């Protein structure tokens, strides 16, 4: 693997050092399959295809990160849930399997090293291993998991879980703790398989769904537990992505040990920078739909420069979309963002 300075640039950003550019994450998963003319379903179940299309897309969009075409619903199927996998989109989970404390007790966290318990997750691990094997440059290889409260929301049904916080908060906490056990096991296994960075997507922690106080009560410590588990064994960066508004939750996220918050376009980058200070790096936050999917390269470049100006003058920023790059996004727009991280500093 060629040391082309990708990981060095990311580390500089995390440490608020200057390396002459702002690193960029294309925040693409299934988009890489569409770009290669491959269906999501084919990439989902074929680790070699998953790795190849992801590496190719990251290099062509000048990203410092690569994520195999991972469907984060796959482990839920291994946990006994009914997951529907469409041909060209992520899996959906139409039901739930937890209603009572006894149901939580019955949940068996699979052993990631036992392929018979988790055949789907084993393919995720294989995709990460192949990515590490074929990667020609030192892009960060992202492992990907849902956060504990988001995972719990799948097990219980998000609406049911929100209602249960009012009538049986101990049940919710018990389920979130059990979910954190699963997330930890998966993240450790993904690093063992080749991931050089862990990416926890936790949309249920958004202020659009729960208050900052509820984040502290239900989500903060389980996230911290996972990150502590990972950092106790591996020296890898830990990123947390939360959709929607996170401005008032941001201060609490500092207590989880996360290295970086991936923040949505709903948050003003200057306000996010002010709230984070130099305690937490930020990643974001180009509008993924209005600009990455529906804009022009010039519009993407202009907004990228604005974000760097507002939140990245002293490091601490990784430029990226505010949420995942939509599957139909034009390659030229994603490339414009990739180049903006360098060209801003050459003006």
pLDDT tens per residue across span 83-140: 999 999 999 999 999 999 999 999 999 999 999 999 999 999 999 999 999 999 999 9
Closest CA to 154 of 114, 182, 115, 126: 182
Work out how many domains the chain is built from and give that number: 1
pLDDT band at 1 (very low <50, low <70, confident <90, very high): confident
> Is residue 240 included in any domain, yes or no?
yes
DSSP-derived letter for residue 112 is T
Tokens for 219?
């989500």
Give the three-state DSSP class for 220: helix
163: which strand partners? none
pTM above 0.75, yes or no: yes
Range of the domain at 144: 6-346
pLDDT band at 19 (very low <50, low <70, confident <90, very high): confident
| pLDDT over 80 (residue 227) | yes
> Is residue 133 included in any domain, yes or no?
yes
CATH of the domain at 54: 3.20.20.210
Tally of CB atoms within 10 A around 86: 11
> Is residue 228 included in any domain, yes or no?
yes
> Quick one: angle between helices 158-167 and 148-156, nearest 10?
100
Cα distance between residue 344 and residue 129, in whole Å: 34
Closest CA to 319 of 337, 333, 302, 293: 337
> Is residue 162 included in any domain, yes or no?
yes
Contacts for 347 with CB less than 8 Å, ≥ 6 apart: none
> Is residue 341 included in any domain, yes or no?
yes
Element (H, E) at 141: strand 140-146
Q: What is the pLDDT of residue 70?
A: 84
> Is residue 338 included in any domain, yes or no?
yes
Tokens for 189?
């296994």
Tokens for 154?
């799948």
> Is residue 1 included in any domain, yes or no?
no
Cα distance between residue 271 and residue 83, in whole Å: 39
The region that residue 80 occupies, defined by phi over 0 for left and psi between -120 and 50 for alpha, beta otherwise, is: left
| pLDDT over 80 (residue 75) | yes
Question: Using CB atoms within 10 A of its CB, is residue 232 exposed (0-12), middle (13-18) or buried (19+)?
Answer: exposed
């Amino acid at each position: 693997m060629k040391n082309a300075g990708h990981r060095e640039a990311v580390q500089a950003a995390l440490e608020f050092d200057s390396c002459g550019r702002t690193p960029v994450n294309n925040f693409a998963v299934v988009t890489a399959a569409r770009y290669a003319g491959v269906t999501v379903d084919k990439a989902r179940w074929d680790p070699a295809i998953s790795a190849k299309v992801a590496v190719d897309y990251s290099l062509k969009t000048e990203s410092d990160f690569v994520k195999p075409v991972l469907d984060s619903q796959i482990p839920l199927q291994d946990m006994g849930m009914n997951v529907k996998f469409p041909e060209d989109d992520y899996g959906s989970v139409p039901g739930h399997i937890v209603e009572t404390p006894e149901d939580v007790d019955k949940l068996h966290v699979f052993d990631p090293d036992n392929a018979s318990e988790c055949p789907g997750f084993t393919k995720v691990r294989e995709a990460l291993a192949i990515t590490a094997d074929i990667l020609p440059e030192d892009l960060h290889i992202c492992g990907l998991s849902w956060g504990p409260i988001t995972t719990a929301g799948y097990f219980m049904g998000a609406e049911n879980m929100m209602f249960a916080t009012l009538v049986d908060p101990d049940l919710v906490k018990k389920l979130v703790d059990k979910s954190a056990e699963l997330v930890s096991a998966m993240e450790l296994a993904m690093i063992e398989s080749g991931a050089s960075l862990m990416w926890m997507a936790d949309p249920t922690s958004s202020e659009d769904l729960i208050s900052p106080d509820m984040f502290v009560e239900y989500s903060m410590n389980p996230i911290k537990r996972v990150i502590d588990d990972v950092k106790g064994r591996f020296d890898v960066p830990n990123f947390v992505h939360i959709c929607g508004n996170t401005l008032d939750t941001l201060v609490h996220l500092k207590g989880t040990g996360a290295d970086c918050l991936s923040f949505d376009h709903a948050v003003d980058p200057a306000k996010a920078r002010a709230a984070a200070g130099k305690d937490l790096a930020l990643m974001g936050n180009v509008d993924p739909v209005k600009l990455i999917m529906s804009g022009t390269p010039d519009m993407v470049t202009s907004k990228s420069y604005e974000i760097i100006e507002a939140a990245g003058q002293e490091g601490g920023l990784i430029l990226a979309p505010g949420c995942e790059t939509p599957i139909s996004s034009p390659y030229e727009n994603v490339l414009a963002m990739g180049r903006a991280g360098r060209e801003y500093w050459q003006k």
